[in-house]
């Protein structure tokens, strides 16, 4: 949901009403909630009827990341390939770590060792459009249905028929919220990291000019071609600057170079930006409309410059079993800012 480009480019204030118009919530009443609940059931039925016999590759590469050995594997179904790294106890409880924009699996590098040593089986995928996963063309291929289907296939192939925990940051958190609404029976709990419940975000955008100003990039990313050209300019200068300055702890040059390598993949920038375009086009309109019945843990870095701290609290009528843990001195990327504190908090949430 957030992007560390504020201050790098200015957006005309005249565009902000467009942001409000396209992000306004539908009036939530009993009939609309029942309608979205029915659509959710239809999505589940579609997922169950259209399983594409996903297959897992054998590990094809091993490396040490953050002091932990991880293996690279692929999940394949139809024309889609989802790359992921794996570590920890393959017989332990499965935890799936889902990144956001503009990251990929490497954003969790400081969490792998802690989770593996705690006995968890850990998987961190590249979302479609990112890094080594498929980067299909067309905005509709970045819809809620497509992204959640990828994650549900991972669960089916790797969970040993046990409920799993999902941890999502930023856009990854939005996807995790969606999975919790579609197939709660497959999840033990979810943990969201600086990723607001979509109903809260819609409502807050309606009433908060400050949040609309913070979210200017939602509008910028609707433009054709220009966002990609801007991000690619001068060897991804804006994204490099973001990785160095948008969190409290700058990324090392080795990691920044790995990010740049991921950005240079054909279609990668468009794939990443297409999540915002898909949201604008209505392909994520159903997320945040129905009840979440499983336990929810929220970790929130209070010094997030892109999302108001009020968004840490999901709506009580839709999410009743929730615990919010605020980290006052950390930013939008708390897993980078203070890995030790974040890992303690995450392990508490998962216990």
Catalytic (active-site) positions: 170, 276, 332
Which residues are within 8 A (CB) of 102 and not within 5 positions of it... i.e. 6 or more apart? Answer: 3, 4, 239, 242, 259, 263, 272
Cβ pair 310, 204 in contact under 8 A:
yes
Cβ pair 302, 74 in contact under 8 A:
no
Q: Which residues pair with 82 in a beta bridge?
A: 75
296-301/55-56 β-pairing? unpaired
CA distance 261 to 244: 16
Q: Which two tokens stand for residue 105?
A: 């699996």
Torsion of CA 14, 306, 133, 124, to 10 degrees: -170
* Chain centre to alpha carbon of residue 253: 24
**Conformation bin of residue 325: beta by default, left when phi > 0, alpha when psi is -120 to 50:** beta
Scanning the structure block, which residue is given the tokens 């009433």? 207
Q: What is the H or E stretch that residue 127 is in?
A: none
């Amino acid at each position: 949901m957030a992007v560390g480009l504020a201050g790098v480019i200015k957006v005309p204030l005249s565009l902000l009403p467009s942001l409000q118009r396209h992000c306004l919530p539908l009036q939530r009443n009993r009939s609309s909630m029942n309608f979205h609940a029915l659509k959710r059931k239809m999505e589940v039925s579609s997922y169950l009827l259209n399983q594409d016999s996903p297959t897992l590759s054998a590990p094809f590469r091993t490396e040490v990341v953050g002091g932990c050995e991880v293996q690279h594997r692929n999940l394949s179904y139809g024309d889609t390939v989802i790359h992921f790294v794996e570590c920890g106890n393959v017989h332990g409880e499965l935890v799936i770590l889902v990144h956001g924009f503009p990251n990929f699996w490497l954003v969790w590098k400081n969490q792998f060792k802690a989770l593996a040593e705690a006995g968890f089986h850990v998987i961190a995928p590249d979302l479609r459009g990112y890094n080594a996963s498929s980067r299909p063309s067309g905005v509709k291929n970045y819809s809620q249905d497509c992204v959640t289907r990828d994650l549900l296939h991972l669960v089916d192939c790797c969970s040993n028929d046990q409920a799993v925990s999902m941890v999502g940051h930023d856009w990854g958190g939005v996807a995790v919220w969606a999975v919790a609404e579609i197939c709660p029976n497959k999840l033990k709990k979810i943990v969201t990291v600086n990723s607001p419940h979509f109903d809260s975000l819609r409502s807050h955008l309606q009433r908060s000019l400050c949040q609309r100003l913070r979210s200017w990039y939602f509008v910028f990313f609707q433009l054709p071609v220009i966002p990609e050209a801007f991000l690619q300019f001068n060897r991804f200068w804006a994204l490099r600057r973001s990785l160095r300055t948008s969190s409290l702890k700058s990324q090392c040059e080795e990691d920044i170079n790995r990010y740049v390598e991921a950005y240079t993949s054909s279609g990668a920038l468009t794939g990443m930006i297409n999540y915002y375009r898909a949201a604008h086009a209505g392909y994520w309109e159903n997320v945040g409309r129905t009840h979440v019945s499983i336990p929810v843990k929220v970790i929130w870095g209070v010094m997030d410059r892109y999302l108001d701290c009020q968004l840490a609290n999901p709506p009580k009528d839709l999410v009743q079993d929730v615990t919010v843990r605020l980290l006052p001195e950390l930013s939008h990327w708390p897993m980078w800012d203070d890995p030790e504190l974040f890992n303690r908090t995450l392990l508490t949430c998962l216990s």
